[in-house]
Amino acid sequence: MKHHPANALRTEKAQSYSHLESMAVRLQLVNPGAEPWTAAGAVLKDSTGAEVELSPWQESVILPGVPGFVVVGAERDPRQLGCPCTLKLWEAQGPRTVTLGDVSFPDAKQDPAPES
C-alpha cells in the first residue's frame, strides 16, 4: 500500500482482509497533529473509478503522538472491484484525511466444509 504524502496521520501498518462477501482494512495510525482524530467516513475507489462506501470503526480517538487503530469495511465481494484501489478516510469536524493507494485484497477464504 502507498501512503499519500499529504496525509494528516502517519500510517504505521495496514492490512487488508476478505472473507466470502465482505472486505476490511485495518490501519495502525499515528497522529502527529495537536488535535485528536476520529474517522467519520471512508471510501474505496477502484481503478475504474467505481466507489464503495466503507463503515469505519475505532475503539477510541487517536490522540496526538499516540498510535491508534481504525478498521474500515463493507459487506461486498472485493472480487467485484478493479483493484488496486485507493482508500480515503476523513474526520467529521475537519479537513484532515488519510489516503492510501495500491490497496488490494487477498483471495476470500471459503468456510471449511463441515466434518461428516
In tens, the pLDDT along 33-87 reads 999 999 999 999 999 999 999 999 999 999 999 999 999 999 988 888 888 999 9
Q: Judge whether residue 116 has pLDDT over 60.
A: no
**Secondary structure tally for the chain: helices H, strands E:** 0, 8
Q: Which of 31, 23, 17, 15 is nearest to 98 (CA)?
A: 31
Global pTM reads 0.86
- Three cell numbers written together for 8: 494528516
- Strand ranges, E, within 39-107: 39-45, 51-57, 67-74, 85-91, 97-103
5: left (phi over 0), alpha (psi -120 to 50) or beta: alpha
Residue 3 CA to residue 6 CA, distance in Å, equals 9
